[in-house]
């Protein structure tokens, strides 16, 4: 037995399960085993959650900032204490190696700690006029928030939906992915255990389209925050627009990596190969299009292939596993289709390319080189363990290719030239640019994209301000 917890909704602080509600199986992507049965919220549950969110908002917004900060800090401590157990459930339901699952969960707790500190720094400003009148600019929580989180980072994504909203004084109803429910439930439970009122943070599951239509159809919800694909993001933004709700949209990407002749190629290889195959490439900020200046192309390609071949793929619960299965069969099918299309159009398959075995959803770490621009994979987010390595003739051509797609989430560059860094910072169209590093995330820095990768930021001060609205008080 897998030691997987019982699953439930959390509405008004109450654990709800069964009673004739619809339900679905949760699958272990490494084994295909059914881990548990997840109950869906019915319409009455969602209405109850909405009424609760309104009450919870009134209560939580009036909770003094230092008390909110203390409760959120306590919740972060509980998540850290429970990180081993939460990570175990996360790996069972999502597949990533246990160490990555634990690291993600600790990072989610650190993000909450940061947000707790921000509660006490939500300042307004006063405009004092020479003639004596003044304007006070205040910031207020926008109201109840609906958050929809995907399955690729089951604890961190849920925290990104909840943390900024609670710090701002909003209540929040979160719908984690139905594919990774235990991780989301554990995060919400820690907040409840620390003292967040049961109406201020609630957790529901169901058929995503039904739940989002129900919650966004209510005027109680004043903000939508979504992480997922661009297609779903556009659909939800339209639903939210019906009621002029504000949005944060963290959507797909297609991360370019610009590797210049003057870079430290060995360091770039070690960092970017690990970054590429983290979470089997199912990461919105995953490096995907490697644009390599011709002078270092062969060295980079050969080194990358060597590292991809050396990766140990296996069940995330086993020691030494560096890459787990993909999280679901859709992912494997999608990646197979894109690799087949690229090879048919003339790309070279340097390593990988196949699914592994017939149990679970494993796929080989794959490298394609010299992939033509009209291949599907050059235009659509791969969201899997595939790297595209293409030789490029100049900085201008690399920047042009980086900016060619409508996406603009994360971009990466490797160069030792300081003036080039400044040019890249100015010209690469992305919400986040990593230069000589593989990291684009920090709890105190904004995380988000431009163009089809979305708008609004999570993390950093921006993540809290995205849940607040200004009010100007004019005094004569
Ligand atoms: P998908 O578009 O079907 O779903 C993505 C996420 O959105 C899932 O968590 C799903 O539960 C949710 N969702 C779908 N329809 C919804 C609706 N109507 N209302 C509310 N939530 C809804 O895709 P998928 O097969 O699960 O994932 C593959 C694609 O999704 C990837 O190619 C990638 O572009 C994107 N994705 C992005 C991120 C990210 O971190 N930005 C995370 C996961 C998936």
Summarised one tens digit per residue, pLDDT across range 297-329 is 999 999 999 999 999 999 999 999 999 999 999
Cα 147 to its chain centre, rounded Å, is 12
Residues 271 and 351 in one domain: yes
Please tell me the residue having the least CA distance from ligand 1 atom 42.
228
| Confidence band, pLDDT 50/70/90 cuts, at residue 407 | very high
Residues 247 and 263 in one domain: no
Q: Which of 1-10, 215-224, 240-249, 391-400 has the lowest mean pLDDT?
A: 1-10
Residues 357 and 327 in one domain: yes
User: Computed from CA positions of residues 21, 24, 25, 26, in that sequence, does the dihedral angle turn out positive or negative?
Assistant: negative
| Confidence band, pLDDT 50/70/90 cuts, at residue 420 | very high
Q: Which CATH number goes with the domain that contains 143?
A: 3.40.605.10
| Confidence band, pLDDT 50/70/90 cuts, at residue 2 | confident
| Confidence band, pLDDT 50/70/90 cuts, at residue 75 | very high
* Ligand 1 nearest-atom number relative to CA 331: 25
What is d(CA 242, CA 220) in angstroms, rounded to the nearest whole number? 13
Q: Which CATH number goes with the domain that contains 302?
A: 3.40.309.10
Nearest to 383 by CA among 268, 256, 285: 285
The set of catalytic residues is 250, 284
Residue 3 forms part of a structural domain: no
Choose which residue among 229, 249, 281, 381 to substitute to test ligand 1 binding: the one with the highest number of ligand atoms within 8 A of its C-beta: 229
| Confidence band, pLDDT 50/70/90 cuts, at residue 409 | very high
Please give the distance, rounded to the nearest whole angstrom, from the Cα atom of residue 421 to the centre of ligand 1.
Answer: 33
Residue 78 forms part of a structural domain: yes
Residues 222 and 330 in one domain: no
Residue 417 forms part of a structural domain: yes
238-285 pLDDT tens trace? 999 999 999 999 999 999 999 999 999 999 999 999 999 999 999 999
Cα 112 to its chain centre, rounded Å, is 15
Q: Domain range holding 109?
A: 9-251+453-475
Q: Which of 25-29, 66-70, 120-124, 393-397 has the lowest mean pLDDT?
A: 120-124
Residues 337 and 409 in one domain: yes
- Residue 445: predicted pLDDT: 96
| Confidence band, pLDDT 50/70/90 cuts, at residue 174 | very high
Residues 312 and 433 in one domain: yes
What is d(CA 459, CA 448) in angstroms, rounded to the nearest whole number? 9
Please give the distance, rounded to the nearest whole angstrom, from the Cα atom of residue 73 to the centre of ligand 1.
Answer: 30
- Residue 79: predicted pLDDT: 98
41-62 pLDDT tens trace? 999 999 999 999 999 999 999 9
Please give the distance, rounded to the nearest whole angstrom, from the Cα atom of residue 151 to the centre of ligand 1.
Answer: 8
* Ligand 1 nearest-atom number relative to CA 330: 25
Residue 4 forms part of a structural domain: no
| Ligand 1 binding residues, C-beta < 6 A | 148, 150-152, 177, 208-209, 212, 227-229, 231-232, 235-236, 250-252, 284, 330, 381, 383
* Ligand 1 nearest-atom number relative to CA 157: 40
> pTM of the full predicted structure?
0.97
Residues 313 and 225 in one domain: no
* Ligand 1 nearest-atom number relative to CA 235: 18
Please give the distance, rounded to the nearest whole angstrom, from the Cα atom of residue 235 to the centre of ligand 1.
Answer: 12
User: What would the mean pLDDT of 132-144 be, rounded to a whole number?
Assistant: 96
Residue 173 forms part of a structural domain: yes
Residue 260 forms part of a structural domain: yes
Residues 195 and 278 in one domain: no
Please give the distance, rounded to the nearest whole angstrom, from the Cα atom of residue 226 to the centre of ligand 1.
Answer: 9
Residues 425 and 471 in one domain: no
ipTM value for the complex: 0.95
Residue 402 forms part of a structural domain: yes
Among residues of the chain, what percentage have pLDDT more than 70? 100
Please tell me the residue having the least CA distance from ligand 1 atom 13.
208
Residue 150 forms part of a structural domain: yes
Residues 44 and 90 in one domain: yes
- Residue 18: predicted pLDDT: 81
| Confidence band, pLDDT 50/70/90 cuts, at residue 120 | confident
- With tokens 């929580």, the residue in question is 141
**Greatest CA separation for the chain:** 78
Q: Are strands 145-148 and 172-175 parallel, antiparallel or unpaired?
A: parallel
Residues 331 and 206 in one domain: no
Residues 391 and 338 in one domain: yes
Q: How many domains does the chain have?
A: 2
Q: Share the mean pLDDT of the chain.
A: 97
């Amino acid at each position: 037995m897998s030691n997987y917890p019982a699953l439930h909704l959390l509405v008004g602080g109450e654990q709800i399960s069964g009673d004739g509600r619809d339900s679905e199986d949760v699958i272990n992507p490494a084994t295909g085993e059914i881990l548990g049965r997840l109950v869906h919220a019915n319409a009455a549950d969602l209405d109850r959650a909405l009424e609760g969110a309104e009450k919870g908002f009134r209560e939580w917004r009036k909770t003094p900032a230092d008390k909110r900060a203390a409760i959120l800090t306590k919740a972060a401590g509980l998540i850290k204490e429970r990180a081993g157990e939460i990570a175990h459930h996360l790996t069972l339901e999502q597949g990533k190696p246990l160490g990555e699952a634990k690291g993600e969960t600790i990072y989610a707790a650190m993000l909450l700690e940061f947000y707790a500190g921000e509660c006490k720094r939500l300042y307004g400003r006063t405009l004092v006029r020479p003639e004596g009148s003044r304007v006070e600019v205040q910031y207020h929580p926008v109201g109840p928030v609906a958050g929809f989180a995907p399955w690729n980072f089951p604890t961190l994504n849920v925290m990104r939906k909840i943390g900024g909203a609670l710090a701002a004084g909003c209540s929040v109803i979160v719908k984690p992915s139905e594919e990774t429910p235990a991780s989301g439930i554990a995060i919400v439970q820690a907040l409840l255990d620390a003292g967040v009122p049961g109406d201020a943070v609630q957790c529901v599951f169901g058929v995503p389209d039904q739940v989002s239509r129900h919650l966004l159809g209510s005027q109680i919800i004043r903000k939508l925050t979504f992480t997922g694909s661009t297609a779903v993001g556009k659909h939800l933004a339209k639903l939210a627009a019906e009621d002029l709700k504000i949005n944060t949209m963290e959507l797909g990407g297609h991360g370019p990596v610009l590797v210049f002749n003057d870079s430290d190629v060995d360091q770039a290889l070690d960092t970017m190969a690990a970054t590429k195959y983290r979470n089997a490439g199912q990461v919105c900020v995953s490096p995907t299009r490697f644009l390599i200046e011709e002078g270092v192309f062969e060295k980079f390609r050969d080194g990358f292939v060597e590292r991809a071949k050396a990766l140990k793929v296996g069940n995330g619960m086993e020691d030494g596993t560096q890459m787990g299965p993909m999280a679901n069969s859709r992912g494997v099918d999608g990646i197979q289709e894109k690799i087949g299309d690229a090879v048919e159009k003339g790309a070279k398959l340097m390593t990988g390319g196949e699914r592994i075995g017939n149990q679970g959803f494993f796929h080989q770490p794959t490298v394609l080189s010299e992939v033509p621009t009209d291949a599907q994979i050059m235009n659509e987010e791969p969201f899997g363990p595939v790297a595209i390595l293409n030789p490029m003739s100049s900085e201008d051509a690399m920047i042009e290719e980086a900016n060619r797609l409508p996406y603009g989430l994360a971009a990466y560059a490797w160069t030792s030239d300081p003036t080039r860094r400044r040019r890249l910072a100015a010209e690469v169209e992305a919400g986040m640019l990593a230069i000589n590093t593989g990291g684009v995330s920090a709890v105190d820095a904004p995380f988000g994209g431009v163009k089809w990768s979305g708008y609004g930021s999570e993390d950093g001060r921006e993540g809290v301000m995205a849940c607040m609205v200004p009010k100007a008080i004019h005094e004569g």
